[in-house]
Structure formats: C-alpha cells, structure tokens
Chain A
C-alpha cells in the first residue's frame, strides 16, 4: 500500500493560484495552511486579505476570510477579534499595504497589543501595480517609479518594520524570516506557527516578516531572485527574532 508522504494541507483550498512563476507567495500560503492544520485551528480561524498581489487569497484558504481596504487589515482584524475573541485572526499583508498606506493601522494594532497574528510579506516592491518603489525598496534598487535607482536624497531609506515595531511595548512576538532556501522556508514555518501559538495563548500581538521574491518585477529569473534575497535583502533586513517567547513549537 502506498504511503502518503506529501499532500495538500486541509486548510489550503484546491485549484491553481494566480501568482507569477518564482514568486514565494504560494509557499507562504502553504506554510500558513500547514500551521492551521497542525494547530487544528482552521475551523476557528478568520483571515484577512490585503490589497496587492494577495488581494484574493481568500480563495486559497478554507477558513473564513474577509478582504480589507489597502493597509487597513490590522484595523479590520481588531474589529473581528474584539467581536469574537475566541476566534483566531490573522492578516496577510505586503510591504506597500503594511509599511506605506497602512503604517498607522499596524503601529496602533501593535501598540494596543491586539491579540492577532500578522503575516507580513516583504518583497521590496509593489507587485500588483507593476513594480513601483515600496517603502522597503533597497537603496539603488531600480523600480518603475525609481527608474534611476532608489536614492537617499530623493526617496529616503528602506523601512525596517520589524525593528520599528519591536520598540513598542505592545508587540509580543516579532521575527523576520526568509523564503530563499529550504532551510529558511522551514524556519519560516516555525515562525508562523509560533506567531499563531502566541495568539492562542492570548499573549498579544505577533508578527512574522517574511522576505519574499518578486522575479517578475525585479526583472530577474526565479533562481536569481532567491539569490538576491540572500545576498542583498538579508543585509538590509537581517533574519532574526526581534521580540519573542520561549514557546515549544515542535517540528
């Protein structure tokens, strides 16, 4: 009899995803779904889709989902969690959504220590709207709105969300991870799991910042994109725990 060694997590809906080849959104979705399965919380979880490439990822999860206005997901999450404190609530947000238009909402959700989980996908660019400069765009990085490269004089510096939010007393768990290789993908899953466990134990605001690839808008191949995360992004956005708990996450 054949032994199942790999299958679709139950919390992940079937069907193709719309993401570009080489984009790591799909991997991150799978990791979230695996965590919902392993913690057995799919049935109590309510997810919030952002504006950006993942705007319709409510189709990709089998838990209850809601789509939020650009940047407002942490406020929507607050409304849901305060109405249904026994449900698990997470947002899925990109860097334009969370670190530009939604800066106020994320800062104050953290300040209030809302007992919610934020999955923050940082790919240093606006993907959906075709490659504009993001708050997290690296210096000298060429985008459609910084065609001569990002400069400090014209555009200022990349926003370091995890560093910034970890200064807030209300933020309970903040970790930056990456998706550029298998080892780091495993670490990413562990961080996502820990973030949900922090929420389950009612310990307050948890956020996982995930460095992610955008080969389409970076204008390089998927392989080069993973290398670019490792060689360029992790220098500006170091992979580490900024605030944490000693929770036993398991495998």
Chain B
C-alpha cells in the first residue's frame, strides 16, 4: 500500500532524496529551505548516513563535489544568495562531469533581497550561473507530490548523464503542507561508476577527476563531448505539462507555483467563455521547445507569467521564433499575482490594448 501523508514541501524533498538512496547531505543554513537540513540532520544518522553543516555554501558544494567524485548519491540545498556562492563549485562539477542534486528554494533578489517566493533565478539556473559552457538539468515542480517524484527522478537523471540536477522551487512550495503519496518502492536506476574515486586497491590504473586541461586541442574535444551530452539531454529529457490547450485563444506559459494560479484562472475564465490553455515547463533546461512547435498554431497569442521581470519569456520567444505574439506579466520582490490580475491581463491582450 502506498503511503499518503500530509507533509511540508521542504521535508518532502529531503524524504524523497533518502528514498532515492541518497545518504549524504552537505549544506549551510538559509531561509526558506532550512527544513531540508533539519530533516536530514535528524534522519540521516538513523540510516547510517552523513549530515554535515558546512562553514559556507562554497564549502558545502565542494563537499558535494568530493562526495560525488567518491561515487555516491549526494544532495545539497540552499536559496538564492547561497546558490550564487555555489556557482564556482557547480562549474567544477560540470567540468568534471559528476552527478549530484542541488535544490534552490528561490527567494526574491537581487542581493539579500527577501525570503518570499520568486522565480528570478531562472537565468542563473538555465543559462549557466557559473563560468564556462555548461548546463544543468533544472526541474520546476509545482506541487508537493511533484517535489517528491522529481527529486527521485533528479537523482536518476544526474547519474544517467553525470550532470547536476537542480530542483528549483520557491518558499511557497517549500513551506506549504500538502498531501503526498509515497510509493512502496522507488524507481532507482543504478549505473556503474567505474570512474569514481574508491582507491585503486592496486588492481587498476588510478582514476583522475579533473576539470583542468591546458592543451587547447584536448580541451576543445572535452567541451565538444560535453555539448554532445547536452544535445542528448535536450533530445531525451524535455518534460512539460499541457493543460486545456486544445482550441485555446490564449496559451499561458508558467512554471512552478505560478502554474497553480493559472489553473484556477483557466477554470474561472471558462465560465466567461474565454478559452485559455497552459503550457507548464517541468524541465526549465532542457526547455520543452518541441511542444511549442506543436502548439504554436493553436492560440492567437501566448502569455508568459512569472515571478520575475521576464526571464523564461525569452525562451518562450526563442521556441516560438516569431510565429505568435508573446506577452508577459510578472511580479517581483515576493509579490504574487492574483487571479484577477492575470485575468485582466488576458482580457487586455485579447482586446488588443496597445501595451497589452
């Protein structure tokens, strides 16, 4: 029997990681994600795992780098300013091709900003916040149930491609309590990690984990290898939810918590005879461009709604490549749009108001 419980989003991430076979957590306190650390600090010692409160996010991500190199499943979590500090390590992890899971419960920035929900780290997550040509797989769950399922999946994807999987949520998702149904058995993909640091036991050549190569001919080849891997991920790992898009006059593109509001908007507007659909990217990278090719011809226009000044909207425009007008509505600073605001925006763009 699957177990259904009421749990806080952040705790579900931690529980999901443990269920995915992760027994190592390294992190540094920051609101609004600290429940992940609390849960891990309590649970991991009970199952023979390791919880280390690092001296900084920089140290935490480098502990993750070491643990991932040792060939085990490992996770760290933080929030925006802390994720900025982790960028150096994330770049090294990408260069050394190590698998790990990083959680960003995004807060509103820039700077110390505030702790309320935001999606303003989209660029940092999907365009590469650290240095160099690299990518991370970025998941944006929109419910506590999905936090659970995608966290488990994030570990599989990380191992499959030797890449960082990022779970990107916000304080609303992390702090809310919602029903979650845990499976009896998790789908844990096992891959052989013959590259891992285990000690040679004098039985094999030494393994070297590194991201440095001062030979331009070799380094270009390494980079081409990375890009080939990313291409494969783009082909195989696009995830998206389509809601009510058939015959829609307007298709809204929204991810994470915003998509929840949009679903209510869609239901309300149905009664007014306005047909609105939702494309909800579940992977922000790879961005689900394929689905836009499929739905570009359906609505009169697209509207992207974000808790930002407009970041994902750039990828929506790239995916549509000028085929349909793309409008934007966003709130910042921890403000969350009401259904009415969004409905007014939809009506306004349908009327053809000058500034939409």
> Within 8 Å of chain A (Cβ to Cβ): is B65?
yes
In chain B, residues 277-305, which have Cβ atoms closer than 8 Å to a Cβ of chain A? none
> Within 8 Å of chain A (Cβ to Cβ): is B114?
no
Which residues on the B side are within 8 Å of A196 (C-beta)?
none
With A69-B89, A72-B58, A108-B54: A62-B66 Cβ-Cβ less than 8 Å: no
Residues 163-179 of chain B, each 1 if its beta carbon lies under 8 Å from chain A, else 0 = 00000000000000000
- The reply to whether B199 and A67 form a contact with Cβ atoms under 8 Å apart is no
Which residues on the A side are within 8 Å of B40 (C-beta)?
none
> Within 8 Å of chain B (Cβ to Cβ): is A44?
yes
> Within 8 Å of chain A (Cβ to Cβ): is B212?
yes
- The reply to whether B197 and A46 form a contact with Cβ atoms under 8 Å apart is yes
- The reply to whether A79 and B67 form a contact with Cβ atoms under 8 Å apart is yes
- The reply to whether A87 and B199 form a contact with Cβ atoms under 8 Å apart is yes
> Within 8 Å of chain A (Cβ to Cβ): is B207?
yes
CB distance from B158 to the nearest CB of A (A): 15
In chain A, residues 149-182, which have Cβ atoms closer than 8 Å to a Cβ of chain B? none
CB distance from A90 to the nearest CB of B (A): 12
- The reply to whether B63 and A76 form a contact with Cβ atoms under 8 Å apart is yes
- The reply to whether B199 and A46 form a contact with Cβ atoms under 8 Å apart is yes
Residue of B nearest to A67 (CB): B210
CA distance A107 to B96 in the complex (A): 26
In chain A, residues 57-79, which have Cβ atoms closer than 8 Å to a Cβ of chain B? 58-59, 61-69, 72, 75-79
CA distance A64 to B200 in the complex (A): 6
- The reply to whether B206 and A79 form a contact with Cβ atoms under 8 Å apart is no
- The reply to whether B201 and A75 form a contact with Cβ atoms under 8 Å apart is no
With A75-B66, A82-B67: A66-B55 Cβ-Cβ less than 8 Å: no
CA distance A55 to B92 in the complex (A): 14
Which of B69-77, B143-151, B328-336 makes up part of the contact surface? Answer: B69-77
CA distance A88 to B200 in the complex (A): 12
Which residues on the B side are within 8 Å of A46 (C-beta)?
70, 197, 199
Query: How many of A's residues come within 8 Å of B, CB to CB?
Result: 39
Residues 336-354 of chain B, each 1 if its beta carbon lies under 8 Å from chain A, else 0 = 0000000000000000000
In chain A, residues 37-66, which have Cβ atoms closer than 8 Å to a Cβ of chain B? 42-46, 48-49, 55-56, 58-59, 61-66
Which residues on the A side are within 8 Å of B206 (C-beta)?
61-65
In chain B, residues 193-243, which have Cβ atoms closer than 8 Å to a Cβ of chain A? 197-203, 206-212
Which residues on the A side are within 8 Å of B63 (C-beta)?
75-76, 78-79, 82
CB distance from B84 to the nearest CB of A (A): 15
Contacting residue for A64 out of B64, B65, B96, B199, CB 8 A: B199
Which residues on the A side are within 8 Å of B207 (C-beta)?
64-65
> Within 8 Å of chain B (Cβ to Cβ): is A84?
yes
Contacting residue for B65 out of A68, A107, A111, CB 8 A: A68
Which residues on the B side are within 8 Å of A100 (C-beta)?
none
Which residues on the B side are within 8 Å of A59 (C-beta)?
208
Which residues on the A side are within 8 Å of B70 (C-beta)?
46, 79-80, 83-84
> Within 8 Å of chain B (Cβ to Cβ): is A105?
yes
CA distance A80 to B67 in the complex (A): 5
Which residues on the A side are within 8 Å of B89 (C-beta)?
69, 72
> Within 8 Å of chain A (Cβ to Cβ): is B181?
no
Residue of B nearest to A79 (CB): B66
- The reply to whether A68 and B62 form a contact with Cβ atoms under 8 Å apart is yes
With A61-B206, A80-B66: A75-B198 Cβ-Cβ less than 8 Å: no
CA distance A69 to B210 in the complex (A): 10
In chain B, residues 55-108, which have Cβ atoms closer than 8 Å to a Cβ of chain A? 55-56, 58-60, 62-72, 74, 88-89, 92, 96
Residue of A nearest to B56 (CB): A104
- The reply to whether B55 and A104 form a contact with Cβ atoms under 8 Å apart is yes
In the complex, which of the residues B26, B59, B88, B96 has the most CB atoms of chain A within 10 Å of its own CB atom? B59
- The reply to whether B59 and A72 form a contact with Cβ atoms under 8 Å apart is yes
A-B contact pairs, 27 of them (CB 8 A): A43-B200, A43-B203, A46-B70, A46-B197, A56-B212, A62-B200, A64-B200, A65-B207, A65-B208, A66-B96, A67-B208, A68-B65, A69-B88, A72-B62, A76-B63, A76-B66, A78-B26, A78-B63, A79-B24, A79-B74, A80-B197, A82-B63, A83-B71, A88-B199, A104-B56, A105-B55, A108-B59
B-binding residues in A (CB < 8 A): 42-46, 48-49, 55-56, 58-59, 61-69, 72, 75-84, 87-88, 104-105, 107-108, 111-112
